[in-house]
Structure 1
Amino acid sequence: MMSASADLRNASDSAERSQMPGPRDNTVAIPPMPDYNGRVLSYTATAIVIVAGVLQGAFQQWHMWLVAGALLWPHIAYFLTRHTFLKNTPRIRQKMLTADCIIGGGFIGCIGLVAIPSASVVLMLMFSALIIGGIRQWLIGCVLMTASILGFLALSGSAPSYQSPLLTSMLSILTTGVYICVTAFYAHQQARALMLAKSQIQSQREQSIALSHKLSKYLSPQVWQSIFTGERDVRLETQRKKLAIFFSDIKGFTELSEEMEPEALTELLNHYFNGMAEVALRYGGTIDKFVGDSIMVFFGDPTSRGPREDAFACVSMAIDMRNHMKIMRQKWQSQGIKTPLEIRMGISTGYTTVGNFGAENRMDYTIIGKEVNLASRLESLADPGAILISYETFSLVKDRIMCRDKGEITVKGFGRPIPIYEVVDFRRDMGPNRSFMEHEHKGFAMYLDSDKITEKERKSILAALDDAAERLRHEGDPGN
């Protein structure tokens, strides 16, 4: 008695809203059969059956009044669902379908259970209930329709004969078949359109993900992750947090830039930044920016493991960077770069202002505060290959990091001199049990980090060392 086509526009809109931002050049329009059209079709079919039944004597004369009701009800239902308080009612389609089941049951009861017309109405109602509401709506519809049939049957009584004339039966079957075929066609069209919409949404989602990954290259991974997971809003806001701040630059880079061609210098710098960025991300650092040959990294935002662990991760990263720099320097020397490049680093820990700074249409996620200035100052005072840290950083890592006292410095913004310390190495790596070893002479360089060597690599390295030792012994033997 109403449209059997499921209205998939809401599902399609929800799917589009759930996808990530992306291009929407082509939109798929799903062609549903509106409830109004379906209801007009089904009630018109019922009206035709009533007229035929009355003319052939299968129904009583007063049943002609049901024709007017059948033709008016679709318009009344449309008005109720679009222009009254019912338009905002959840699951309004299912509620209107229950009304149709009650009306259909009343019609069957009024005609006294004449077989084929009654079966036609039941088929249309059950077909609608199954497609629109599934098994649950079908069961509800069966119960309500049965109750309505029994109620009206008690009032009007059963028909003298349950058989209907041939023309009435044929029209009942024909109109029901037309209704089912038309609504099934629309349901098929919707299914095809929905599959196409899902395919398009998936394609747009993939494009959006690819675009977001490209944009992520311009943001620190932690910041990008917090934005795209909804943990952080993209707006001008800041907060005070205790962070560990790291600065580094390359000693001798200015002199090297005067000797090298810009293309070669760019390649060297990108190689350096790529290696250091991998180290920083491995320890969970938020890369703030690259400026010239300088790197700024901080720990403690957007994620933090606590001030002590953040400071330790920052110092551990600096030690790893220093070791990694030795490996890169050896590679650069093999490429003909004779200028020895050394990294110098500074670390401070304290409260800073962190968040989005700038304008509404162009902002930068960074930190400001006197601790940032202190870290930058420590980096500029550090000797090549050295890591200078503030007293607060030292107090947080001293149980795991060996440091030496370097006296005090005066820094703008601090009321009194600041004690500073130089990082020596991990305490666990001091003495015979240290994992990192280095030895360098003209014509020879060795950097060994035993913690990072696999068993397969260990055998290959031992073979290479045995071969090198044998050659040195052979060439150094006066008898040869």
Structure 2
Amino acid sequence: MMNAPVDLRSTGSTASKSALLDAQNNPVAIPPMPDYNGRILAYTATGSVIAAGLSQNLFPAWMIWTLAAALIWPHVAHQLTRRTFLRHSARIRQKMLLVDCAIGGGFIGTIGLVVIPSISVLLMLMFSCLIIGGVRQWVFGSLLTIAAAAVAVWIVGLAPSPHSPLLTSLVSILATGSYICVTAFYSHQQARALMMAKTQIQNQREQSIALSHKLSKYLSPQVWQSIFTGERDVRLETQRKKLAVFFSDIKGFTELSEEMEPEALTELLNHYFNEMSEVALKYGGTIDKFVGDSIMIFFGDPTSQGQKQDALSCVSMAIDMRKHMKIMRQKWRSQGIKTPLEIRMGISTGYTTVGNFGAENRMDYTIIGKEVNLASRLESLAEPGEILISYETFSLIKDRIMCRDKGEITVKGFGRPVPIYEVVDFRRDMGPNRSFLEHEHSGFAMYLDSDKITERERETILSALEDAADRLRREEE
């Protein structure tokens, strides 16, 4: 008379389907009770009520045909929903349950609304409606059951007495209780299986997240984010975009590598890359690669703030790196590294080809083009601590950053000499109001960035400077 209470394969929820698939692959999982078995159970329970009523002459003799129909209908319904065009119907389970409600309502009206058998059948119907389709299914099922019962009562009439014999009442109660208990047991087992499947999915999800974070160490955060959010496909494809390209290396690193042990040199280099990477990410740069002591970074892909802002962010990053390098050099000196390490940088802005290069089974997200060669050339021409930029970069940032004309250079791939400029500093930091001060001599180094100093730190710094000044005066006297 009704479907099995739970079958997540028909709920339409992607998460539930995935959970159920894992649950079915799990040998501990309990499969849901099929519609076929649930309907057989419900109609067998109803058949026992009919048999008890016939044996006590509660129902008319012709209702023996309803007993036969109750035993046959589950098989007919199974064939209709599995072997005919109905198998393609959407929400077939809910629709078949409404048919069961109509049949059940007709039976209740046919027996003249005898109380206990009617309530037993009604409970089984409403129990199934609530589990399978929720409140919506329960409302429609109730209305259809009431309507079918009313039509049957109008045709057949009410029973002489609403009371049923004891045996029929007991059979009705036991049949309904058995159906509810069995379906509830399967629902409970299926819920346990689903929870186990969800736990497995959660564990797999956590493992996938941990693995993705490990893999992200080999990709720029912007590239990793665009891949894992689905914004970018992992396939061989490129595009032309206007980017700001940055190159840097360490002047004096070759000499230092001859003086230091490989382990200490590796530690120093990793510390340098880590510090510079944090600066690059702060300004939104896409870190392309590390080669030896060189770093290649570009701005404008996969995310861009506009050509002007990308160029400004790139040059601002270079200025910050130069300041940060001075602080790091002082730390290295305190660790016994006396070789003066200086960073030199080159920046160009223009159209490049950016995307995935390589083979289908091994790709590299990078850029190529003459602007890349120009940035590399500028970096090689720069003096220690110097930032050289191309004319196009200069034209985009000249209103915010002070630059000095350095003449022209000849670069392969460019038909004419290329004007280049040296980055001095932010215009806001020029003159007496500048926030960054530096003094470096043998035995003395000071790097002051007043914009980054808190009130508490300011008092400590002033005290340290006063102590240093008093000591120098005493030694002079």
Q: Distance in 1 between matches of 2:293 and 2:404?
A: 27
Q: Distance in 2 between matches of 1:370 and 1:243?
A: 12
Task: Give matches, 1:266-277, under 5 Å.
Answer: 266-277=266-277
Q: Distance in 2 between matches of 1:214 and 1:203?
A: 17
Q: Distance in 1 between matches of 2:16 and 2:157?
A: 53
Q: Distance in 2 between matches of 1:265 and 1:141?
A: 78
Partner in structure 2 of residue 376 of structure 1:
376
Task: State the Cα distance separating 1:179 from its structure 2 match.
Answer: 0.4
Partner in structure 1 of residue 284 of structure 2:
284
Task: State the Cα distance separating 1:203 from its structure 2 match.
Answer: 2.2
Q: CA RMSD in A?
A: 2.0
CA contact (8 A) 1:8 1:190 kept: no
Partner in structure 2 of residue 262 of structure 1:
262
- 2:476 paired with 1:476: yes
CA contact (8 A) 1:4 1:127 kept: no
Distance 1:199 1:361, change over 3 A: same
Partner in structure 1 of residue 296 of structure 2:
296
The amino acid that maps onto 1:131 is I
Q: Deviations over 1:5-63 (max 9, x none)?
A: 322356798327779xx9x9968635322221111100011112212222221111221
Q: Distance in 2 between matches of 1:333 and 1:252?
A: 14
Q: Distance in 1 between matches of 2:28 and 2:319?
A: 56
SS in structure 1 at match of 2:432: helix
Partner in structure 2 of residue 415 of structure 1:
415
The amino acid that maps onto 2:407 is G
- 2:229 paired with 1:229: yes
SS in structure 1 at match of 2:384: coil
Q: Deviations over 1:419-442 (max 9, x none)?
A: 111101111100011111100111
CA contact (8 A) 2:9 2:17 kept: no
- Structure 2: tracts of 5 or more residues without a match: none
SS in structure 2 at match of 1:243: strand
SS in structure 2 at match of 1:310: helix
The amino acid that maps onto 1:290 is F
SS in structure 2 at match of 1:178: helix
SS in structure 2 at match of 1:432: coil
- Structure 1: tracts of 5 or more residues without a match: none
Partner in structure 2 of residue 167 of structure 1:
167
Q: Distance in 1 between matches of 2:248 and 2:340?
A: 16
Partner in structure 1 of residue 158 of structure 2:
158
Task: Give matches, 1:30-429, under 5 Å.
Answer: 30-429=30-429
Q: Distance in 1 between matches of 2:348 and 2:15?
A: 48
Distance 1:26 1:335, change over 3 A: farther
Q: Distance in 1 between matches of 2:197 and 2:116?
A: 41
Task: State the Cα distance separating 1:458 from its structure 2 match.
Answer: 1.1
Task: State the Cα distance separating 1:444 from its structure 2 match.
Answer: 0.3
Partner in structure 1 of residue 445 of structure 2:
445
Task: State the Cα distance separating 1:81 from its structure 2 match.
Answer: 2.5
Distance 1:126 1:52, change over 3 A: same
Q: Distance in 2 between matches of 1:247 and 1:25?
A: 52
The amino acid that maps onto 2:329 is R
Task: State the Cα distance separating 1:345 from its structure 2 match.
Answer: 0.4
Q: Deviations over 1:233-265 (max 9, x none)?
A: 111111111100000011111111111111011
CA contact (8 A) 1:3 1:33 kept: no
Task: State the Cα distance separating 1:83 from its structure 2 match.
Answer: 3.0
The amino acid that maps onto 2:399 is D
TM-score by length of 2: 0.95
SS in structure 2 at match of 1:433: coil
Q: Deviations over 1:188-238 (max 9, x none)?
A: 222222222222222222222111111111110111111111111111111
The amino acid that maps onto 2:338 is K
Range with bigger deviation, 50-59 or 468-477: 50-59
Distance 1:329 1:309, change over 3 A: same
The amino acid that maps onto 2:378 is L
CA contact (8 A) 2:115 2:162 kept: yes
How many residues are paired up?
474
Distance 1:413 1:475, change over 3 A: same
**Percent of residue pairs bearing the same amino acid type:** 78
